[in-house]
Structure 1
């Protein structure tokens, strides 16, 4: 059966988006695949469609609970009942029920942390796994912008599962990171499907503004005039909450704050309200957006400067998934780069914390027999944040197996941390260089990923020129990035207005 027929039968689409068909064809030909496809081009289809061809289960490793939940619900809406997410949302009773019937599920989503359980791993070994999928695969690489230690173990886990056919998915990975993903997973012969990172329907606007109050006023102004829905990104939970309140009070806008400090139920509720058009604007930290399947987001605003180009592209890529014109604003005030520098340093343990931890190990605390033993008290006494502790604990267990002495182990960890902080600072300087540059924003981004501009875009960036009226709520005629009017949408709007008048 032709792939287009399968696509229409199971998903209702008539054609594939960029890179989808190439990735799916490689997988169906039994070839390991690394697919780098732009945010918003439907990477999940690359494993969902093969799931209806292969007999066995599709195991998908996903980094975020919200991302898993969204994918489960998306498949559920398509009528697929053989789908489950193995994560902390399941009660003990639910988890036992699922594990006893694991072979009945076609699509199994799982967190990398859950894969550390030998019991879970043994259950998975008893399955016929047709495809092993690593979503957000850039998390594997220590040079990736969102490195997660548990992801770096996926190569070993893949081996323990019998080296199944593998698909690695990412939206933003440099050549170095892509090479790291392939080596770490042990898929050196993988087919590479590498599409452009460019999203030509998203205009890019950078604006320098003096001071916090003027920046706040500008956000309120933009949120009032731009077509909604939209997302405003902050590096501070407190600022996200304050802006959501201001939007409701001053703009009479349905807005809500979303960040990692909220409980899971609240986060899911806000996400669903946004997806179902009950909220106009989300004021969010980077915790929001990954996997949110909403096609009509019209604007993205960055109140704070992102820490790297890759995460910026991920976040603006949540706009315009329907292919229609959208806009991304970044508001910069001189000195804004100090906050990402502080955040970068806070994510990693200091030399003093590492020295303290190894002193504890040297005097016997944290060692039981030949094994390393840690508890909550060790983390608290050392002043480690959850992120710092997870990194140190993983590194320590890894290095303890490879190094002959505690001193060698300590120096190796310090070296790793210093390399990470150097890399993070380099990423921030690159982001700042882009913000302060007077060359085409899009050309700079493409060059960063070793791509070239192939065609001129009418609504490109603030350097090349943008007509802001194209993105206002009062702008009647929606256009795509080629400047063509979307007549079907326009006529639908006219009919709706006519019905309302009657």
Structure 2
């Protein structure tokens, strides 16, 4: 990239995003995309991945499409842009009703937006793809691209269909970004999107300002008391991660009974509006602590989070790095603590056991489909009929398509449209079962790697770097972990206790006004070219 283009991009960065310089790797990634090359960017948590496609959308002639795995992530990013007067971004996801969907599609066709956030599931809809093809797509960005890795920690079947859709949209340049991709995951992403090794820009995942600590507890009561004591002492704001919704609700109640009032729970069982309002309260500093499952935090733009406490260990080191990566994005010292109770690992073994269908269930489903010659079926109907979860049913359909058993697989409102290409045989069932079991064993292996890291007597930071195939010594700005030594005083509060803070009364109308800002004519920021 020549100096003139670099200056122009830096000026857009300053005017539109308030940053005077690019972070490491950003300019190189942007240059690759502007040259028409498919590019993979692996940047650390808080390393500025969203700025890449947001800035590129201002420089490219047609739409920039961003595939995002979480509704909350899409909503948060679009809200932040709109609150800053940037009206060129919009999302389409399950929170949009039929009227909103119709209006948004009309506005996209009319050229109102330059940046569109979509879930991979929504992109499977033929009318959405047709609209995008007619509108024109200049960039196809895949956020949290580790979801593509078939044996990764957060595999989503609809991500595997994205390369075919890119071709249908005229093969625009692809930008895949993630913070947590091992070398194997990087290779799989690059293979799917034909990304040349020279176009993989990989920065260190090391966050030197975060100190890592683990503490062993003997029972649940001791763990709970230790957590409550930490919440009273640590400088906030912070996040507490749990593996189950029940644990979230129990801990929130315990906090409030203990006088810690500026705390709220967050999990996937809450309705969408409640989750949005809790998230907004936390972002505005009206809550000190969020107790959450892993449904919270991805892509959240709050740079001053000071700590993340893990009440339960995550199921993989990738998930751990994602979650602790919410700490200290402002560059100030951050603290990550994990409470180790030996029996907690059984939570994940139980969840894994329920996540994947057994071979006899696979056989029953496929045999029934073959016998009845159905061309469509609802996921709920299939799940209830064969005692499966909807995720298990989706996995069976995905791998049946991969093995050539199904053809023309497409989602509809209830489930899938499809055609049976060949007769179901015992060998086909075994083949699909092997693929599903391989995915299960991959997650089990990641869980074992997580437990090995927790029991290691070597530097925790170095263990994380080795897992992500990084060599060399990486130092922290403070004593880096409980093996090397952590000075807790650096992270403890010298201010008034959490429960003593004065809280401004919650005003729902004001919160909704901030969530959904309305700008007078002529005051909104239009397209930048």
> What is the TM-score of this pair, normalised by structure 2?
0.86
Q: Give how far 1:475 is off.
A: 7.6
Which residue of 2 is the match for residue 330 of structure 1? Answer: 338
Report if aligned partners of 1:305, 1:340 keep a CA contact under 8 Å in 2.
Answer: no
SS of 1:283's equivalent in the other structure is: strand
Q: Which of 166, 172, 194 does residue 174 from structure 2 map onto?
A: 166
In the superposition, relative to structure 1, how do residues 67 and 432 fare at CA in structure 2: closer, same or farther (>3 Å)? same
Which residue of 1 is the match for residue 300 of structure 2? Answer: 292
Which residue of 2 is the match for residue 416 of structure 1? Answer: 435
Task: Trace 1:124-273 onto structure 2 (pairs within 5 A).
Answer: 124-188=132-196, 191-273=199-281
Structure 1 CA distance for aligned equivalents of residues 250 and 474 of structure 2: 41
SS of 2:44's equivalent in the other structure is: coil
Which residue of 2 is the match for residue 109 of structure 1? Answer: 117
Which residue of 2 is the match for residue 406 of structure 1? Answer: 424
Structure 2 CA distance for aligned equivalents of residues 190 and 276 of structure 1: 41
Q: Which has the higher contact order (CA 8 A, sep 6+)?
A: 2
User: Is 1:302 equivalent to 2:320 in the alignment?
Assistant: no
Q: Give how far 1:375 is off.
A: 5.0
SS of 1:354's equivalent in the other structure is: helix
Q: Which of 53, 64, 67 does residue 58 from structure 1 map onto?
A: 64
Q: Which of 49, 52, 66 does residue 43 from structure 1 map onto?
A: 49
Q: Provide the aligned length of Structure 1 versus Structure 2.
A: 472
Report if aligned partners of 1:158, 1:185 keep a CA contact under 8 Å in 2.
Answer: no
Which residue of 2 is the match for residue 482 of structure 1? Answer: none
Structure 1 CA distance for aligned equivalents of residues 101 and 295 of structure 2: 25
Q: Give how far 1:459 is off.
A: 2.0
Which residue of 1 is the match for residue 388 of structure 2? Answer: 384
Structure 2 CA distance for aligned equivalents of residues 375 and 50 of structure 1: 38
Structure 2 CA distance for aligned equivalents of residues 313 and 464 of structure 1: 19
Q: Which of 485, 495, 513 does residue 465 from structure 1 map onto?
A: 485
Report if aligned partners of 1:224, 1:251 keep a CA contact under 8 Å in 2.
Answer: no
Report if aligned partners of 1:372, 1:397 keep a CA contact under 8 Å in 2.
Answer: no
SS of 1:63's equivalent in the other structure is: coil
Q: Give how far 1:76 is off.
A: 1.1
Structure 2 CA distance for aligned equivalents of residues 204 and 281 of structure 1: 19
In the superposition, relative to structure 1, how do residues 260 and 230 fare at CA in structure 2: closer, same or farther (>3 Å)? same
Structure 1 CA distance for aligned equivalents of residues 380 and 466 of structure 2: 45
Q: Which of 80, 83, 92 does residue 86 from structure 1 map onto?
A: 92
1:321-360 alpha-carbon deviations (Å, 9 max, x no partner): 1010010001101232211111112111122321321342
Unaligned 5+ segments in structure 1 are: 477-502
Task: Trace 1:346-385 onto structure 2 (pairs within 5 A).
Answer: 346-362=354-370, 364-365=371-372, 367-368=373-374, 371=375, 373-374=377-378, 376-385=380-389
Q: Give how far 1:101 is off.
A: 2.5
Q: Give how far 1:404 is off.
A: 4.4
SS of 2:342's equivalent in the other structure is: coil
Structure 2 CA distance for aligned equivalents of residues 283 and 350 of structure 1: 33
SS of 2:151's equivalent in the other structure is: coil
SS of 1:452's equivalent in the other structure is: coil
CA RMSD of aligned residues (A): 1.7
SS of 2:343's equivalent in the other structure is: coil
Report if aligned partners of 2:208, 2:474 keep a CA contact under 8 Å in 1.
Answer: no
Q: Give how far 1:190 is off.
A: 6.4
1:446-472 alpha-carbon deviations (Å, 9 max, x no partner): 011111243433320000011000000
Q: Give how far 1:405 is off.
A: 3.5
Further displaced range: 240-249 or 454-463: 454-463
SS of 2:172's equivalent in the other structure is: coil
Report if aligned partners of 1:75, 1:83 keep a CA contact under 8 Å in 2.
Answer: yes
Structure 2 CA distance for aligned equivalents of residues 341 and 376 of structure 1: 25
